[in-house]
Amino acid sequence: MSWDSLLLIIEICDLTQEKAEKIIPVIGYPDYVTNEEDPTMDEEYESYEVTQSEYFKNVIRIQIESSKNLLMILDDTVDRNQWLTSPATVNAFYSATRNQISFPAAILQPPFYDEAQPSSMNYGGIGMVIGHEITHGFDDMGSDYNGDGDLEKWWSAESRRNFEQKSECIERQYGDYFWPEANQKLNGKLTLGENIADNGGIRQAYKAYEKWRSVNGEDLKLPGLENFSEDQLFFLNNAQIWCSLVRPQFAATAVATNSHSPGLFRVIGALSNFEKFGEAYNCKRGLDKMYPNKNDSCRVW
């Protein structure tokens, strides 16, 4: 860890820990979904009128009722435990205004998570996603909100400057990546928050896996890949979860509008900044792009 990183962490340690401890996790699905005696869903939709023969009017009526419901809670105290997405969504989220992380049931599936696969792969998969969402609380946008979800400048000016300097390293790194499918370089500024979260997420997931190993000992082997070490499987599944195929037209639009880097560079960027990857795959420091010299890599958290 660099001296600047250490100073940054020491200065805001207490407030950062307080915010982290206040993060509210919502996992799987709301309890009322499977509880027939809970009236929540009936009450939520009792004012909705839907008919089989009027699709367009149904859409309009649903939008009207949804807008009314939002207006009704405008002056209410924020419910930080409220679900903000469907359990069927294959994604995960961080809400800065609620300081909430959510992991719908749909993402708690292979390859992100599988009870039967080695823990190394679960930590490299869903573990990284969890670390990613937590890190959002301390990225370029989440860091503007305190542990209660209120907009507040809770870092000192010096801490903010140190953070921004380290963030600039990430911005430059990703902005230099050329994506052949889009025939252009990435937008390091647009994707900064997500890239910070990816880099912090993989480190936190690995740290959690190390803790798991210290308690549980040797991990399972993966049939067919018995020669892969636990660390190699950790990073292998982390790469697998971001595999994708895209058309050039989509790629060009994604570079211009998507706050996430393409899957390929989510892997290359974060792992090339994390020395444990280079060690796991016996890369040669300074001679391999995935294992650069410490001065050539970036780190915020």
- Which residue in this structure is represented by tokens 């990073």? 235
Q: In 248-275, which positions are buried (b, 16+ CB within 10 angstroms) versus exposed (e)? A: eeebbebbeebebbbbbbbbbbbbbbbb
Chain centre to alpha carbon of residue 82: 19
Catalytic residue among 139, 140, 198, 230: 198
The answer to whether 267 and 240 are in contact (CB under 8 A) is no
How are beta strands 24-28 and 93-95 bridged, if at all? unpaired
| ∠ CA 199-13-231, rounded to 5° | 35
Q: What is the Cα Rg of the chain in Å?
A: 22
Among 185, 190, 140, CA closest to 166: 140
What is the spatial distance between Cα 278 and Cα 300, in angstroms, rounded to a whole number?
A: 19
**How many alpha carbons lie under 13 Å from residue 169 in its C-beta half-sphere?**
18
Among 199, 206, 191, 204, CA closest to 298: 199
The question of whether 46 is a catalytic residue gets the answer no
The question of whether 198 is a catalytic residue gets the answer yes
What is the spatial distance between Cα 55 and Cα 47, in angstroms, rounded to a whole number?
A: 17
Amino acid (1-letter code) at residue 31: D
Catalytic residue among 133, 139, 140, 231: 133
Among 281, 278, 300, 279, CA closest to 289: 278
Q: Which positions are catalytic?
A: 133, 198
